[in-house]
Structure formats: C-alpha cells, structure tokens
Amino acid sequence: MLRKGILLGLIGLMLIGFGVFAQEPVTIEFWHSMSSGHQPYLVELVDKFMEEYPYITVNLTYQGGYGDTEDKVEASVVAGNPPTMVQLYENVITPLVEVLYPIGPQMTAEEKADILDGLVENNTFDGVLVSVPWNKSIMVLFYRSDLIDTPPTTWEEFATMAADLTVDIDGDGLIDRYGTGLRPYNPELFLNYLIQNGGTILNEDWSAVTIGDQAGVEAMQYAESLVPYSYISSGYLSDAVGSDLVAMFVDTSAGYYYNNKAAVDNGFELSVARVPAGPVNNKSAIQGTNLVVFDMGQTQAQKDAAVLLARFLIRPENTVAWSLRGGYLPVVKSAYEEQAWLDYLVENPEYIVMSEAMVDGFAQILHPNYGLMRGTIGGAFEEVILGASTAVDAMANLVLDLTDLLDD
Amino acid sequence: MLLPFFWMVTTSFKSSSEVMQMPPQWIPSTWLWSNYAKAWSVAPFARYFFNSFFMAITTTIGEVITTIMAAYAFAKMKFFGKNALFAVLLATLMIPGQMLLIPNYVTINRLGWFDRYEALIIPWLASVFGIFLLRQFFRSIPDELLDAARIDGCSRLRFLWRIVVPLSKPAIMTVALLKFLGSWNSFQWVLLMTNREAMRTVPVGLMSFRSEVGTAYELLMAAAVLAIIPVLILFFFTQKQFIQGVARTGIK
C-alpha cells in the first residue's frame, strides 16, 4: 500500500513537473533592417537563442532599410497586425508606446542596471523601460592618418586643419581633395555641434524651443564656416574617402568597416578619434535602433518569447558577439569587461575611442513629435550646407517650425 | 546614355578596391566572374527571379486584357457619364502613390491576401495610364470600320479582338512593355505586402547589398546586371512595336 502510494506520488510529481516545464510551441515574427552584411550574424544569434529555447520559433524577416521598416510598421499598426518584435529608432517608438509591451518590467534589476546609462534614458518612457537598445553606434572622427599626424581635438583645430587640407593637387584651379566631408541632410551632425556648444532643442519641460538661442546659432554658423572646405555629397562618405576626396569627416562608428575598407583598398590609412570638442564638451550622438515588443493582438506566450529574445540579445556575451562582427558597440556595461571584447580592443584600438565616446554619448529626446522635429532640423542644416540659406535665417525659420510642432 | 550601363557592367567584374578608384578604373584589372556567384548566393535569387517573372507576366497579361476592354469602351461606346467617369479615372493619376500605401496595406490585409501572390498581382491588373494610352490610340481608328463590321454581323467583342487589337498592336505592346518593366522593378509594394522570402522579388533582393552605412557596389552591380537581362531581351524583341506605339500615341 505504502509502495503504491509512493509510486502514485512520484507519478503525480512527474505530471506536475511536465505541467510546469513543458512549454507550448510559440512562433514570433521579428522584423529587422539588417541587410546581407549583418544578417548572417543576426541569424547566428537567433539560431543560438532557438537552441536554448527550443519551444520558440523566431521568423526573422528583413524589411528593407530603416525607413522601409518604419513605413511597414506604421501600416501594420493601422491594420492592427504588427509583428511581435521590431528594431526601431526612438523617434519611431515614441508615438507607438501605447501599443508596445514594456520589456523592462520583465527584466531583472541586474539586467536593467547593466544597460549603459545613456541608453536606459532613451528607452524609458514615463519611467518605464519600454524598449532595449540593440545595434548602437556613436559618431566619431575618421581621419586619414597618412595625411594627419595628430587629429584635431577642438572645433578651431578642426576648422583650421580642414582649410589646410583642402588642396588643388594638380594645379588646375580645382580642389582635388577637401579637408572634410559633409552629408547635407545630417540632423545628428548638427545636434553634435549644438550639444557641444551647450545648446538644447527644447527646454527641460519641453514647453519652449531653445534651439535658436545663441548656442544654436553659433553651432549652425560653425557648420556654415566649414562649407568651403567640405566635400558635399549625399552619398556615403566611405565612397569619398576611397576616392581620395576627403581627409577627415565625422561619421557613425557603424560605418567603420566600410570607411576603413574604402581607405585601405585604395592605399590610404584611416584612423578614428573622438569628435573635436566644442566650447562646452565633445559629446556625440548615439545612433542605432532598439528592440520593441508589440502588444496588439499578440498572445501572452508570444510577448513572453519576444521579451526572452530581447534579453538574450543584450546579454554581455551576445552584445559583444554582435558588436565584434557587426561593427556596433556593446549596449551593456558588463560587456566592456568581457574577455572577448578586451581582446578585440587590443587588436582594434580604434574601438577604445568608440567605446569611450559611447559611454559619453547623448541620445535623442523622447518628445512625441521628435521624428518630425528631427526632419525639420535636418532640413535646416541641409539648407545651410547647400548654401540655400544663411545660418541665422535657417535658425530663425527652424525655431518657428519647431514651435509649430511643439504646439501640435 | 550608355555610360551608366557600361559602368554597371564593368563594375560588376571589379574588385571592391577598384570600384571607387579615382580617376575611375573603367576596365577591371582582373575580371572577377566570382562576383556573380557571390551575389547570387547572398539571397535566394532563383526564387526571386521566379516570383518576378510570375508577377510581371501575369500582371502584364491581365492589364493588357482589362485596359483593352476599358479603353475600347471609352473610345468607341456611348454610355451615360462616360466623360465624367473618364475624368475621374484620370484624376486618380494625380494621387501620389505614397498616400495610398497604408490604405492599400489595410485593404490587402482585410482581404486576406497579405504575403500571397494575390497581393502582388490582383491590384495591378488594371491601369488608368494604360486605359488612357489605348483610348487615344483606339480613337484614331475610323468609326466606319466598326459600322462596316456591324453591317456584316460582327459583334462588338469580335470587332474589338479581330480588328481593333491587331490594328493597335504597337500601342498594346507599349502598354505591355511599360507594365512588364513596372512590375519587374516593383520594390516598395512587394516589400510592404510580403514577409516570406519565398514571396519576394528581384528588386527586394538587390536591397541586400545596401545598408545604412555602406554598399557592396561590385556585388550590387553583378546582381543588377542579372536583373536587367530579362528586360533587355524583352526590349530587343519588342523595340520596333514599342517605338511605333510611343510615336503614334504621342507619349514621351
């Protein structure tokens, strides 16, 4: 009798065990913008995730560039069938917060504390960590070390060096190589100048536009002063450096692979430094996207699976693996102490500079209209760079446009 | 006009270091045929080509049939509100395509066509531009021909297919070729309306070589050369009719 009881008890425990641990299969959609260069590494990481969680199937779907993905997300939200998970910029996340499933509350305190401070800030909405940072990069200075011994560290040095390095090599009266390069539509580059000069887009409580203050006007005037010494093109600056058209330029660290390859392939040397400091600091813009989970028709099991994937992707060893192969920078503090990362820094010292800049970087503001504001700022910068407007006029118009957006 | 084409073909054989060389390296120092193999392996291009062909051919056939019938009605038949209806149709040409993307996405989803061939084909089986172009051409066919045919007992449908269509071959070929090109190059619609790789087409595959920070030009050009071969073949076979059609309908 006793044996029977023990046996039944064991069977009961086993059944309870199965009930607790056996998981129903669940499939999630993950929309991303990683083209052939990065996609294989993402696939590897997701395969590893599915090995660890065999009941979860992740359908990775490439949705074109960031803009294409954003368009599709917007359409899918209107249609009421967004995917479970997407990579998005903060300015796209902001208007979607109400239909997102916050990831932060599902994470441990240690995990949340491990995310780089600047990245926590730009994924937190109304005090809740809604999304998590993923493929992050930072703006740095790329310079031809075969032309420049010591990179410029201040705005003044940069401007002087840009002028000196703008040269007519063959004496035909035309400039053959410019000191620097500018992409006309580049809101983040202007924001670098703004923040480095102590300016802000809006005041602290977002009740007024402050971009037109003296700091903002000076920042735009500084950009304007660089125009005569700049190769201006909407194309990739890697193409310009490969063609010996520019000596130095500010670009995202994610472009390191292409920039370096273009230089090396053509027999030049390219190095990386922090962006030159403005009068106040040398902070630069953090770029790249974050992971969000949708709460719009997804089952609880799908949302839980997506949160697990997000947490998996930012684990120290995984964010390091992603950074090593994808050219990004780790998004959690402990990753910077991982042996693999430390070894990588020894072999690739330029990433030390990028890491330092990342820790110091500034993020987008999370105003609900920031997406439109960013476009307007980019438009004003473009006008100045293309000579369609003076810095003073562009800033005056920018203030009016941003005030309208603030009032909307 | 041929220079960009020449650059595309020669770049498809270059090494990455030669792509951006200044002054331009017009002829590759070594002809890298391997670029084509590499480009082909980046994405499931065989499937993409099948889908592109299937989509382009079905939409072309469908559009030619619907536009011929609609254009005939507008050119040769009398019915209440014909001109107003035609004006409304023409007005739809002025609506920017971008504006319709989200409503179309919602419609396709509600119809249950998302990620299926229906989404890639059915919305493109008619074209206002094609109707306009053929209507102009059909109007140049004398009404006396129709009168004579009717006296001989010919129905409208028979008149359309046996007399109007053969007489309008150049214009119809123009409509068909423009449609084929449009479908073959369609990118945003396919990207928006599909998720599975098995449903995607060549232009979406070409995006694989671009990223936010750089482009593998030599591979992109290799894939682009492969992508334009079918279009070139089609153009070589139909160029006479195409040029005639464009010349006679006054479309440039």
**CA–CA min distance A50, chain B (Å):** 19
How would you label A180-217 residue by residue, b for 16+ Cβ within 10 Å and e otherwise? Answer: bbbbbebbbbbbbbbbbbbbbbbeeeeeebbbbbebbb
Lowest mean pLDDT among A152-156, A360-364, B244-248: B244-248
Residue-wise pLDDT tens digits, A13-48:
555 555 445 678 999 999 999 887 788 899 999 999
ipTM exceeds 0.90: no
**CB-side exposure of A373: number of CA atoms within 13 Å?**
29
Which residues does B contribute to its contact with A (CB < 8 Å)?
15-17, 19-22, 42-43, 101-102, 105-106, 109-110, 188, 191-192, 195-197, 204, 207-216
Check CB contact under 8 Å for A257 and B213: yes
| Contact predicate B184/B60, CB 8 Å | no
Surface-to-core class of residue A172, CB atoms within 10 Å of its CB (0-12 exposed, 13-18 middle, 19+ buried):
exposed
Please list every residue in chain A whose beta carbon sits closer than 8 Å to the beta carbon of residue B195: 29, 59, 61
Which two tokens mark A236?
A: 């990739």
Minimal C-alpha gap between B22 and chain A (Å): 5
Query: Taking Cα atoms as reference points, which of A388, A212, A377, A177 lies closest to residue A285?
Result: A377
Interface touch B214/A245, C-beta < 8 Å: no
In sequence order, what DSSP letters do the residues of B150-197 get, joined into one string?
HHTT--HHHHIIIIIHHHTHHHHHHHHHHHHHHHHH--HHHHHH--SG
At B239, the pLDDT band (50, 70, 90 cuts) reads confident
Beta bridge partners of A85: A30, A293
The pair of structure tokens assigned to A151 is: 């990179």
Beta carbons within 8 Å of B201's beta carbon, 6+ residues apart: B48, B51, B52, B55, B120, B186, B190
Find the mean pLDDT for residues B6-33.
83
Looking at residue A194, its amino acid is L
Q: Do B216 and A37 touch (CB under 8 A)?
A: yes
Chain B CB within 8 Å of residue A262 CB: yes
Q: What was the pLDDT predicted at A118?
A: 84
User: pTM for the whole thing?
Assistant: 0.81
pLDDT value at residue A10? 61
- In the prediction, which pLDDT does A1 show? 52
Yes or no, beta carbons of B21 and A39 under 8 Å apart: no
What single letter denotes the amino acid at residue A193? Y
Question: Which chain A residues contact residue B214 at CB under 8 A?
Answer: 37, 236, 238, 255, 257-259, 262
Cα angle value A113/A119/A120 (rounded, 5°) = 45
Percentage, residues of chain B above pLDDT 70: 94
3-state helix, strand, coil in chain A (%, to 5): 50, 20, 30
Residue A19, pLDDT score: 47
* Distance from C-alpha of A100 to C-alpha of A129, rounded to nearest angstrom: 11
d(CA A330, CA A321): 9
Q: Please state, in angstroms and rounded to a whole number, the distance separating the CA atoms of residues A226 and A217.
A: 15
DSSP states along A39-94: HHHHHHHHHHHHHHSTTEEEEEEE-SSHHHHHHHHHHHHHHT---SEEEE-HHHHG
Chain B positions touching A178 (Cβ under 8 A) are none
Indicate the average pLDDT of chain A.
91
Mean pLDDT score, A71-75: 92
Return d(Cα B242, Cα A403) in angstroms, integer: 53
In the predicted structure, residue B16 carries a pLDDT above the cut 70: yes
What residues in A contact B14, CB-CB < 8 Å? none
* Side chain identity, residue A272: V
Q: What is the pLDDT of residues A163-210, one digit of tens each?
A: 999 999 988 888 999 999 999 999 999 999 999 999 999 999 999 999
Confidence at A110, pLDDT banded by 50, 70, 90: very high
Flag whether residue A174 sits within 8 Å of chain B, measured between CB atoms. Answer: no
Cis before residue A349, ω within 30 degrees of 0? no
- What does the alpha-carbon distance between residue B97 and residue B110 come to, in Å, rounded to a whole number? 20
Q: Are A64 and B201 in contact (CB under 8 A)?
A: no
- Tell whether the model's pLDDT for residue A8 goes beyond 70: no
Residue-wise pLDDT for B204-231, tens only, equals 989 888 776 677 888 899 999 999 888 8
H helices within B12-116, ranges in order? Answer: 16-19, 34-42, 45-76, 82-92, 97-110
Task: Looking at the complex, report in whole angstroms how far the Cα of residue B34 sits from the nearest Cα belonging to chain A.
Answer: 17
CB contact under 8 A, A37 and B109: no
The token pair that represents B30 in the structure block: 């070594």
| A-B contacts (CB, under 8 Å) | 93
Tell me how far apart the alpha carbons of residues A350 and A283 are, in angstroms, rounded to a whole number: 17
Comparing alpha-carbon positions, the chain A residue that sits nearest to B193 is: A72
Take residue A8 and report the two structure tokens written for it. 């039944």
Q: Among A29, A30, A34, A35, pick the best mutation site for testing chain B contact (most B Cβ within 10 A).
A: A35
Using 50, 70 and 90 to split pLDDT, how confident is the model at A359?
A: confident
